[in-house]
Amino acid sequence: MQPDGVVDGAGRVLPRSMKWVRCLAIVGPGILVMAGDNDAGGLLAYLGTGARYGAHLFLPLLLAMVAVTLVVQDTALRVGMGLPQPLPVMVRTSIGRGWAQLLAVQLTVQNWFTLVSEFAGMAVALMYFGIPLPLAVPASLLLVLGLLQTRSYRSVERVGILLAVLNLALLPAALWSRHRLGWAVPGGARSLSPELVFFAVGMIGNAMAPWMVFFQAQAARDRGLGPRDLVWARLDLVVGGLFNAAVASAVLLVGAAAPTHAFAPATFLSTLARRTSPMLSALIALALLDAGILACVTVALTTAWNAVDTWSGGRPRRPDDPAVRRLYRAALATAALAVWIPGAPPTLLAVGAQVVSAVLMPTVLVTLLLLANLPAMGKLGNGLFSNSVGILATLLFAGATVALILG
């Protein structure tokens, strides 16, 4: 039976009368997962999309996808609260071992591509400040591993939220860019080209990634959240969604402020400095570094959590499981190594990672819908609205994949 209160990250039971204390104990995973979605690879993709096509076409798509993502993440939150075992274990017992293993492999592949794009983005940021690539990549890796050295998830979460708040500095950056919403790159989006489809699918994939679903469900379970915490947990998620929409929109607008048909991150930052302000370019570079660190933490942890839960044979995973540490270190090290490949284009890596995410998302959404409608969910189960949005999101991602193949 759940105690009469909320269990915080340290295992303390807080009285229900202490509403604001309860709120602070619950807040964290929603902000972290939604803010972490604006990763370094995603920011590079937004900059490149804005520079290539302007904002008038992609800004409405971005905002619509944020709304859909909030509904899907709310489902993941309730699944984490309502099911008696971790999400990967429930997939194995309720849907099948083969399906659970397929999901684990898919998530590992997608997360690895995402981590590669994070190190590419962080390397671009450090190179802008004069650090050469051979030093920028290991420096980025050391920064992330240093943050993950703590044994407390709660400590990692606090640092992650701080990083997310720092990226709000991009909001005045969008104003400094002096961009007008109706202005776009001449000829950039006059026809439906394969390149346009590629960038559109990348934006859809960046708005909602498989790791977000797993992270939200696992964090809610690890925090000991239950039905009585749903209102505060949803508030946490909505605040994260506002962070996500504001920062992503700002970066898209900044990208459109310096139009180019051949987007290269380092060149773009220099062009932006000439056309607007050197401070703005430095701020974008810092945002790339900030977002890359934040996303590396959340994505690497999700990879390790899911792998251990899937292959452990049903044994409960400890929050400080040594296997988790070994797995996320291996994921980070191999992703950083891939960025050292001579001639690897950062923008292609960034958008490509989002496209891989979009292609793999339908399997995750179908799994989430099946779990959210299990009898064990009780009152936390999906209603008509959540099921409808989930089905529409599945069809959207499947359609995006088909369009990518046909394009």
pLDDT above 50 (res 86): yes
pLDDT attached to residue 76: 92
Which of 206-215, 245-254, 376-385 tops mean pLDDT?
A: 376-385
Instruction: Report if residue 4 sits inside a domain.
Output: no
Instruction: Report if residue 383 sits inside a domain.
Output: no
Phi and psi torsions of 61, nearest 5°: -65, -40
pLDDT attached to residue 180: 44
pLDDT attached to residue 157: 63
Instruction: Report if residue 5 sits inside a domain.
Output: no
pLDDT in tens, 114-125: 888 888 888 888
| 3 or 214, greater pLDDT | 214
Q: How many domains does the structure of the chain reveal? A: 1
Instruction: Report if residue 95 sits inside a domain.
Output: yes
DSSP assignment of 221-281: HHTT--GGGHHHHHHHHHHHHHHHHHHHHHHHHHHHTS--SS--HHHHHHHHHHHT-HHHH
- The H or E element containing residue 82 is helix 58-82
**295-328 b/e with 16+ CB inside 10 Å = b?**
bbbbbbbbbbbbbbbbeeeeeebeeebeebeebb
Phi and psi torsions of 257, nearest 5°: -75, -15
pLDDT attached to residue 72: 92
Instruction: Report if residue 7 sits inside a domain.
Output: no
**Range of 123's domain?**
31-376+389-406
Q: How far apart are CA 290 and CA 164, in angstroms?
A: 8
Instruction: Report if residue 24 sits inside a domain.
Output: no
Q: Strands 6-7 and 13-14, how do they pair? A: antiparallel
State pTM to two decimals: 0.79
The SS3 assignment for 14 reads strand
Mean pLDDT of 302-324: 66
What count of other Cβ atoms lies within 10 Å of the Cβ of residue 53? Answer: 25
**331-356 b/e with 16+ CB inside 10 Å = b?**
bbeebbebbeeeeeebbebbbbbbbb
- 112, 116, 393, 407 from 401: Cα distances, Å: 20, 21, 12, 10
Instruction: Report if residue 19 sits inside a domain.
Output: no
Task: Give the number of residues written for the chain.
Answer: 407
pLDDT above 80 (res 294): no
What tokens appear for 65 in the block?
A: 């996808």
Instruction: Report if residue 254 sits inside a domain.
Output: yes
pLDDT in tens, 383-405: 999 999 999 999 988 887 787 77
Mean pLDDT of 332-340: 83
Q: Are the C-beta atoms of residues 346 and 121 closer than 8 Å to each other?
A: yes
pLDDT attached to residue 14: 47
pLDDT attached to residue 17: 47
Work out the mean pLDDT of the chain and round it to a whole number: 76
Q: Are the C-beta atoms of residues 160 and 152 closer than 8 Å to each other?
A: no
The SS3 assignment for 6 reads strand
pLDDT attached to residue 156: 62
For residue 252, give the nearest of 71, 37, 60, 32 by alpha carbon. Answer: 60
CATH code (residue 359) = 1.20.1740.10
pLDDT above 60 (res 21): no
pLDDT attached to residue 262: 62
